[in-house]
Structure 1
Amino acid sequence: MNISDKIRVIEDFPRKGISFKDITTLIKDGEAFKYVVNTMADNLRDKNIKYIAAPEARGFILGSAVAYALGIGFIPIRKPGKLPGETISFEYDLEYGKDELVMHSDAIDIGERVAIVDDLLATGGTANALAKIVEKAGGIVVGMEFLIELEDLKGREINSEYDIKALVKYNS
Structure 2
Amino acid sequence: MLVLLNLRHRRQDTSSVASIDSDLGPAAYEKALAMSLLFYEANRSGDLDEAINRIPWRGDSGLNDGNDGIYFGDASASNLQAGLRLDLTGGYHDAGDHVKFGLPLASTLSSLAWGGLAFSEGYAIAGQTDELLDTVRWGTDYLLKAHQMDSEGKTEFSSFKLVMGTLIMPLEFAREPIHPSPCVGNYG
Fold agreement, TM-score > 0.5? no
Q: What TM-score, normalized by structure 1, do the two folds share?
A: 0.27
Which structure has greater strand proportion? 1
Higher relative contact order (CA 8 A, sep 6+): 2
Higher helix share: 2
Q: Normalising by the residue count of structure 2, what TM-score does the alignment of the two structures yield?
A: 0.26
Larger CA Rg, structure 1 vs 2: 2
